[in-house]
Amino acid sequence: MWCRIDGDRSDPARAAIYRKRVFRFMEQYRFLFAADGAPLYHGRSLTYRFAVAAPLWAAALVDATPLAPGETRRIASAVLRHFLDRGAMRNGVLTLGWYDEFLPMIQSYSGHGSPYWASKGFCGLLLPPQHPVWTAEEEPMAVERSDFCVAMPEPGFLVHGTASDGIVRVASHRSDHFPLPARRPHRSLARRAVGRLARTLDGPRQPAPVAEDPHYAKLAYSTHAAPECGPNDNDVDNQVTLIGTDGTASRRVRIQCLDVADRFAASVFYPQEPRAAERIETMTIVQGRAEVRIHHVSAPYGGTLRGGGFSVASPRPPEVQMGDRWSLVRRVDGLTSIVAAVHGFEAAAVHRNEGTNPFGRYSATPCVTHGGELSAEAIFVSLVVLTADDLDPDEVLQLVTHLEITGREVVVCLDGEWWFLQLVAPEHVDRTFRGRAMAGPVRAMRVSPDGSTFTLLASGDS
């Protein structure tokens, strides 16, 4: 907008930088929309809704977009229809929520006028009627054309979409609270004196506790499922939770991203922060609609572990099914969330809620649990699926056709793709894997049926 108002006249060099940045942003932003226009439900200020279309229009306004004009209009118009068709307007006024009013999802700074930041989603009306965005035929968006998996290292996202059901999912491996704030640079003598006086009068300043925000701390997000926004004891969906011997559930707040590349992502957090003895590292690999989660758990004080899948919400209670090693939640329109225990987890369950999800009054989350006492070091593996396709839950377990765990090394075959993984501190290896040479501190290596390979070293080189 600054480029449009004054940038080219007052600072052409700066305007050129903005154009370059918005172009790069749009190269990845285009993947965060479902076929029905639903944007990714993640982050803050979500009640602005239509404003997610603003970057599409801004890029077109300054002629710095990789999207064809028809794709720009396809996404923007789909977003508008998505919310209007689902009751975001009540008596001609935008609600404080996502569809209906849902106050638990809003921020402390929100007010009844806040939803009207949605007006940014209409800045495309600044384009003249003859602009190609208005005259060209709409073109399919990314998830309508084909399946995809896009690695986004900066936000810690591994984005995968499936054309058959139009759903986009995001494995999330970074949070808004990591890294820790840097120490302030050297302060003047006067400022230090003021600080000492304040401590004398008020006592030592305690660091503010980190807020638990379900819009950042989950293992995954989607265009079709929202996180539970209830109390901490409801924090089951898309979480790996260490439950202490006293019943205290861990908090996944500061998430350190280790790597995001290809179809792989990894991160680590400390369940009982600031205590650092307990540690959980999670690796994610995805193929199509399936996600395998591999957790290395360091729990010297014991406890148990729970792993949750996507929460499904609707105006009436979702259907629930249970198997020996899996649990399933299904909405009346067919949207289905499945979690299966592959290794370490021993049982499946479903966690039900009411009034805690912005997508509907009733919600349910499939999960898997470990019933025994944790050892000091253990590895757990689960398979997570969110789909609108018809799927037999017993077939879900068959997606993982091989699993081998040796110490901190894991070999897994997911739907025909073979992966070699090293958790915690990858050691130097020099051998072959599935007929391919493997050398160095390999964190992850993929060998696909088509012969393509991918190798990621612990240094981040690939």
CA distance 430 to 441: 9
Spell out the per-residue pLDDT of the chain, length 462, in tens.
Answer: 888 888 778 888 999 999 999 999 999 999 999 999 999 999 989 999 999 999 999 999 999 999 999 999 999 999 999 999 998 998 989 999 999 999 999 888 888 888 899 999 999 999 999 999 999 999 999 999 999 999 999 999 999 999 999 999 999 999 876 555 555 555 566 766 766 666 666 665 554 455 678 999 999 999 999 999 977 667 899 999 999 888 888 888 889 999 999 999 999 999 877 777 899 999 999 999 999 999 999 999 899 999 999 999 999 999 999 998 999 999 999 999 999 999 999 999 999 999 999 999 999 999 999 988 898 899 999 999 999 999 888 888 899 999 999 999 999 999 999 999 999 999 999 999 999 999 999 999 999 999 999 999 997 777
CATH of domain 167-177+213-394: 2.70.98.10
Q: Strand, helix or coil at 91?
A: coil
| The pairing of beta strand 409-414 with beta strand 336-343 | unpaired
Beta-carbon contacts of 266 under 8 Å, excluding residues fewer than 6 positions away, are 173, 257, 258, 259, 260, 281, 282, 283, 284, 443, 444
Position 112 scores a pLDDT of 84
- Cβ–Cβ contacts within 10 Å for residue 63, how many? 9
Beta-carbon contacts of 437 under 8 Å, excluding residues fewer than 6 positions away, are none
- The token pair that represents 374 in the structure block: 């944790």
CA distance 345 to 184: 44
Report pLDDT digits (tens) over 167-184.
999 999 998 765 555 555
Position 173 scores a pLDDT of 95
- Every domain of the chain with CATH number 2.70.98.10 lies at 167-177+213-394
Q: Strand, helix or coil at 189?
A: helix
Position 323 scores a pLDDT of 93
Q: Report whether 249 contacts 303 (CB < 8 A).
A: no
Beta-carbon contacts of 112 under 8 Å, excluding residues fewer than 6 positions away, are 96
Residue that has been written with the tokens 């997911």 in this structure: 414
Q: Report whether 312 contacts 361 (CB < 8 A).
A: no
The residue among 77, 76, 66 whose CA lies nearest residue 23 is: 66
Rg (CA), the chain: 24
3-state secondary structure 303-354: CEEEEECCCEEECCCCEEEECCCEEEEECCCCCEEEEEEEECCCEEEEEEEE
Position 198 scores a pLDDT of 64
Torsion angle of alpha carbons 31, 36, 42, 44, nearest 10°? 110
Report pLDDT digits (tens) over 12-69.
899 999 999 999 999 999 999 999 999 999 998 999 999 999 999 999 999 999 999 9
What's the DSSP call for residue 97? B
- Cβ–Cβ contacts within 10 Å for residue 124, how many? 20
Position 183 scores a pLDDT of 52
CA distance 115 to 88: 10
Which residues partner with 160 through β-bridges?
149, 169
Nearest 5°: phi and psi at 189? -60, -40
Q: Report whether 327 contacts 454 (CB < 8 A).
A: no
Distances, alpha carbon 206 to alpha carbons 109, 202, 209, 273, 345, in Å: 24, 11, 9, 15, 39
CA distance 336 to 365: 10
Q: Report whether 311 contacts 327 (CB < 8 A).
A: no
